[in-house]
Structure 1
Amino acid sequence: MYVCLCNAISDKAIRNAVRQHQPQSMQQLRKLVPIGTDCGKCIRQARVIFEEEQAKIPDMYKVA
């Protein structure tokens, strides 16, 4: 599903960026994927996807 129509960014692209690069903030994610650079309507959905993927990444302190 497209999250950002202006830049043709899909939810899969956002999920892959979070999994591969593990950004710690939306600001870091936006450096990897050009979301919210035009109209900004995608930011809310992108944040939801970002938070879902962040929750799946194991916390290194819990694993150790």
Structure 2
Amino acid sequence: MYVCLCKGITDSQLRAAIADGGSEFKRLKKELAVGSQCGKCVPVAMAILAEENAKAGLYYEVA
């Protein structure tokens, strides 16, 4: 499924980038440009990031 329509980023691409060490949104934004245009994908991208980090046992407090 597409997460970011502006940049054409899929959930599979996002999950692969997270698995490759992108456990912070800032890094995903830099590497994939997710959330860098209209920003409507940010909540979904953050949810996927939280889900994948939870699977890996990484937990971050959201400010």
- For normalisation by structure 1, the TM-score amounts to 0.80
Aligned to 1:6: 6
| Matches for 1:8-27 after TM superposition, within 5 Å | 8-21=8-21, 23-27=22-26
Query: Pairwise CA RMSD of aligned residues?
Result: 1.3
Which runs of no fewer than 5 residues in structure 2 stay unpaired? 59-63
Question: Following superposition, which runs of at least 4 residues in structure 1 exceed 6 angstroms of deviation?
Answer: none
Counting helix residues as a fraction of each chain, which structure ranks higher?
1
Q: Provide the identity percentage.
A: 40
Aligned to 1:62: none
Equivalent residue pairs, number: 58
Give the aligned residue type for 1:7: K
Which runs of no fewer than 5 residues in structure 1 stay unpaired? 60-64
Larger radius of gyration: 1
